[in-house]
Amino acid sequence: MPGNHPKDPKEKSLKDSGAFNTHPVTDSLFITNDFFDPRDLVQVKYEMLRKVHKKSEPISHAASSFGFSRPSFYKIAADFEREGICGLLPRKRGPRGGYKLTGEVLEFIEQDRQKEQPMSTAALLEKIEEHFGIKIHRRSLEKAVRRLEKKRAQKIQAKDQDGQ
């Protein structure tokens, strides 16, 4: 089977991208044919969907032979239906952004940053909690401030280029 060697570049690439399959694949395609790589999560998911939709294999059988549960099959199928092959790519788990840092909170931070004497991070965290009733982690605030400063610098640079 390909990829048993620790220096295999495909295995390294799959692991680096998060697309390395750890599910046990027992489907005959992956056992009898070298083209089908059980380490490739995207290929495994695609072939599982194809088996059900083109070969009319029962969902429960296809899911188990490709190392997934029935609920996982339905999620994979929905992702594929919505996004095509990109829907089969792995995603990072967890929140996708600072849900506490709403537009209103960011505006509050921006207004403070524009003052001649902006508040310290600790003071700003206190003011945000007092004003909005939410606690924001220090690092989240520091990252938000950096993003706002970067945006401001880009706006200034764009104005300078337009004026020349």
What is the percent of the chain where pLDDT is above 70? 93
pLDDT exceeds 70 at position 3: no
- If you write DSSP's letter for every residue of 109-131 in order, what string do you get? HHHHHTSSSPPPHHHHHHHHHHH
The one-letter amino acid code at 69 reads S
How far is residue 81 from each of residues 45, 95, 98, 138, measured CA to CA in Å?
Answer: 13, 23, 28, 40
The distance from CA 81 to its chain's CA centroid, rounded to whole angstroms, is 18
pLDDT tens digit string along 99-146? Answer: 888 889 999 999 998 899 999 999 999 999 999 999 999 999 999 899
pLDDT tens digit string along 17-45? Answer: 999 999 999 999 999 999 999 999 999 99
Token pair belonging to 65: 């032979």
How far is residue 23 from each of residues 12, 86, 148, measured CA to CA in Å?
Answer: 17, 20, 42
pTM of the predicted model, to two decimals? 0.58
Residues contacting residue 69 through CB under 8 Å, at least 6 positions apart: 63
